[in-house]
């Protein structure tokens, strides 16, 4: 099946630094990717919809200047957590839509665990 890869799988950073997480669709083109955040023992909360070649659409309450999303190619979307703070520590998960399949299918990455000290 289709594979979505996230990198890094885990990262530890100091408070105030920025961290970039990559989401790649390995064997299909994804014009749309979704970014979710999951706190321990909680559900996945949609942060934003990433569209190739255009600006991301953010969900209500998600700061676009803090969570920068770039979707510059059909196989790569990046999420940059700027000026990270301990409360940003979370599990970040992306999903990518394969539009060449009918019906369209959504594939999830394995997640990236961010710990901010």
- The correct pick among 12, 26, 110, 117 for binding another protein (CB under 8 A) is 110
Closest by CA to 71, choosing from 96, 93, 52, 47, is 52
CB of 45 to another protein, least distance (A): 8
**100 part of the interface to another protein, by CB under 8 A:** no
Which residue's CB is nearer to another protein, number 46 or number 83? 46
Please list, residue by residue across 80-115, b when 16 or more beta carbons sit within 10 angstroms of its beta carbon and e when fewer do: ebeebeeebbbbbbbbbbbeeeeeeeebebebbbbe
**49 part of the interface to another protein, by CB under 8 A:** yes
Q: Which residues bind another protein (CB under 8 A)?
A: 6, 32, 34, 41-46, 49, 60, 93, 95, 97-99, 103-106, 108-111, 113
């Amino acid at each position: 099946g289709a594979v979505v890869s996230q990198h890094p799988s885990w990262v530890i950073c100091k408070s105030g630094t920025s961290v970039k997480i990559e989401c790649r669709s390995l064997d299909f083109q994804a014009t749309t990717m979704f970014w979710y955040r999951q706190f321990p023992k909680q559900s996945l909360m949609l942060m934003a919809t990433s569209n190739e070649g255009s600006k991301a659409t953010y969900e209500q309450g998600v700061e676009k200047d803090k969570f920068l999303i770039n979707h510059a190619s059909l196989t790569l979307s990046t999420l940059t957590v700027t000026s990270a703070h301990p409360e940003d520590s979370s599990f970040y998960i992306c999903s990518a839509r394969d539009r060449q399949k009918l019906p369209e299918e959504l594939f999830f990455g394995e997640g990236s665990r961010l710990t901010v000290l």
